[in-house]
Amino acid sequence: MGLKAVIFDVDGVIIDTAPLHHKSWETVLKRDYNMKFTFADFKNKIDGMPRAKGVKALLPMADDKEVDRICAEKQRYFEIYLKKNGVKIFKSTVNLIIKLKKEGIKVAMASSSRNARPILEKEGIFKYFDIDAEGALAKKGKPYPDIFLRAAKKLKVKPAECVVFEDAQIGIDAANAAKMVSIGVTREHELKKTNLNVKNMKQINVNKIRELFK
């Protein structure tokens, strides 16, 4: 089978919201639990997870009411920091998306974050995508394959015809579980079990992606 679609994680691949997410989590955890929470903790423990699942991973004893409260507080701080600091856009990723579209290849965004699509819409990037996988609605979050299988179904392509760009290990694991080709974006850390790793999106192009299917 050949390449029919490319699915992009958002945070860390298209936009750099990881520092904002980390700072939001750090603020709430420090304030309410006096918990130290480094950027490495964020990347290794909850990056790529839906908000509630992240709370459960960090605070397994928290009940549903407490989980909801922490999620709301984390989101409140995220919006404060986003408004104050803005967000970095990886232009090389946007350029690749535009080139894929010109080649007739379908593209999807697949994020577990409810913040992802509003930010892409605000920045004028969402218009390039054929669909939003609506990852927050997936029955199981990453590392389960649900989010990527939703994307393939909405794009009307087979999983084996898809490539996934991810910057988190649980995202790579989810792509592999979906039986899709996985490309790791390793700007700051290494990723395992990928078909290919790139440190910068300038290192990849449409032809190199197609070669992964040969």
Catalytic machinery residues: 9
Helix (H), strand (E) at residue 183: strand 181-185
CA 90, CA 198: separation in Å to the nearest integer? 14
3-state secondary structure of 156: coil
Distances (CA, A) of 131 to 70, 126, 140: 30, 9, 19
With contact defined as beta carbons under 8 Å apart, do 21 and 42 qualify? yes
Compute the half-sphere exposure of residue 113: CA atoms within 13 Å on the CB side of its CA.
26
Structure tokens that stand for 191 in this block: 């990723």
CA–CA–CA angle 71, 76, 80 (5° rounding) = 145
With contact defined as beta carbons under 8 Å apart, do 171 and 164 qualify? yes
